Amino acid sequence: MNLNYIETNSNDPFYNLAFEEHLLCNRKDCDWLMLWQNSPTVVVGLNQNTNEEINRSFIEEHGINVVRRTTGGGAVFHDLGNLNYSFITDAQTGTELSIEYFSRPVCRVLEQLGVHAYTSGRNDILVAGKKISGVAQRIYDGRILHHGTLLISSDVGMLSNALRADPDKFASKSTKSVASRVGMLNHYLPEGTGTEDVKKAIIAELLSGGTEKATLSPTELEKVEQLAENKYRSWEWNYGRSPEYNYTNKARFEGGSLCLMLHIQEGKICSAGISGDFMATDSIDPLIQTLIGLRFERREIAAAIAGMNLRPFIGTITSEEFLSLI
């Protein structure tokens, strides 16, 4: 690959993924290396159920972004301690499509920094048996996108909490993330070596044609922003595209036990069931009908039931207790 180097000049994950897609689909005149970083974000794979992969209460409390990418694989956490790289080139056959083909130069850079890195049998780069990079690929119109992460100094606490969802509450055929023992490169790099040093090493090693950065035209940048707004920031892409699934949650309150069972299609509730030993005085059907068609989001459900008197349906269980199951 004779790579041309480009940066997004942004830490906005929605914009960065739009920028990457624009390069893949529209700039076919050369091969590209794109280095980029995101503010705290969970990035889910193309075929994943977003709600199964995230700890929703945690990410909302901490203002963590959630976005779906166009490649497969599992959910990952990004922050400014993580450096992302994208290779875009013509799709070849055989070894040039392999993950190892693209991972090899990254491992070579890390070796030059004093870190022995190697590819695993799946789609990861490991150091001392710990995952420091996960990668994914996509082919579009004769071009291949290969992108990956480099965990340099990410916040491990944020990473582990943002990606924790309760598997007992969900049942679907979506692609699940594989739990991995992750490691941080700053534990293996020479003391004082940070993200910028790794970035400079990648640029120096991989750009045989010089280190001058390419740019997009103002018209292209406008198209990138439109793509970010219309696709990557949209609920329909990030949540609505999730495969259909069942969600079940139950709890015991002072007013009795309550079990909520939902079937979700395209991110919306298409059927619901409510059971328990709460002291209802009327049929539960009006409450169930209120839920049908809503997005599976606590905020939207809360707004829908805000004007309802729930006592005939679920007794003394409060609306807040009911919403705690979402």
Mean local confidence (pLDDT), 16-29: 95
Cα torsion 263, 267, 268, 273 to 10°: value is 20
Indicate if the pLDDT at residue 159 is higher than 70: yes
- Is there a single domain that holds both residue 40 and residue 11? yes
- Is there a single domain that holds both residue 230 and residue 142? yes
Listed residue (20, 64, 19) closest to 43, CA to CA: 64
Indicate if the pLDDT at residue 85 is higher than 80: yes
Mean local confidence (pLDDT), 297-306: 93
Query: Structural domain of residue 274, as residue ranges?
Result: 245-323
Supply the pTM of this predicted model: 0.82
Q: What is the pLDDT of residue 180?
A: 60
- Is there a single domain that holds both residue 182 and residue 89? yes
- Is there a single domain that holds both residue 181 and residue 277? no
Residue given tokens 């055929």 in the structure block: 173
- Domain end residue (candidates: 220, 239, 258): 239
- Domain end residue (candidates: 201, 221, 239): 239
- Is there a single domain that holds both residue 211 and residue 293? no
- What is the tally of structural domains in the chain? 2
- Is there a single domain that holds both residue 110 and residue 170? yes
Q: What is the pLDDT of residue 234?
A: 96
Contact of 151 with 185, CB cutoff 8 Å = yes
Q: What is the pLDDT of residue 114?
A: 92
Question: What percent of the chain has pLDDT above 90?
Answer: 52
Tokens at residue 150, please? 């480099």
Neighbours of 211 (CB within 10 A): 10
Listed residue (215, 233, 218) closest to 9, CA to CA: 215
Residue 299 phi/psi, 5° resolution? -60, -45
Tokens at residue 293, please? 């068609």
Instruction: Specify burial of residue 51 (Cβ count, 10 A radius: 0-12, 13-18, 19+).
Output: buried
Read off the CATH number of the domain in which 171 is found: 3.30.930.10
Residue given tokens 């696709």 in the structure block: 231
CB neighbours of 57 closer than 8 A, spacing ≥ 6? Answer: none
Listed residue (10, 15, 65, 57) closest to 40, CA to CA: 65
Question: Strand ranges (DSSP E) for 256-298?
Answer: 256-265, 268-275
- DSSP-H helix ranges across the chain: 13-26, 50-53, 56-62, 99-112, 156-162, 195-206, 218-227, 235, 285-291, 298-305, 311-314, 319-323
Mean local confidence (pLDDT), 157-186: 70
Instruction: Give the span between the Cα atoms of 318 and 309, in whole angstroms.
Output: 10
- Is there a single domain that holds both residue 205 and residue 252? no
Q: What is the pLDDT of residue 37?
A: 97
- Is there a single domain that holds both residue 51 and residue 150? yes
Q: What is the pLDDT of residue 282?
A: 86
- Is there a single domain that holds both residue 229 and residue 166? yes
- Is there a single domain that holds both residue 128 and residue 184? yes
Q: What is the pLDDT of residue 205?
A: 85
Indicate if the pLDDT at residue 51 is higher than 90: no
Read off the CATH number of the domain in which 255 is found: 3.30.390.50
Higher pLDDT among residues 165 and 205, named by residue:
205
Q: What is the pLDDT of residue 289?
A: 94
- Domain end residue (candidates: 208, 239, 270): 239
- Is there a single domain that holds both residue 186 and residue 263? no
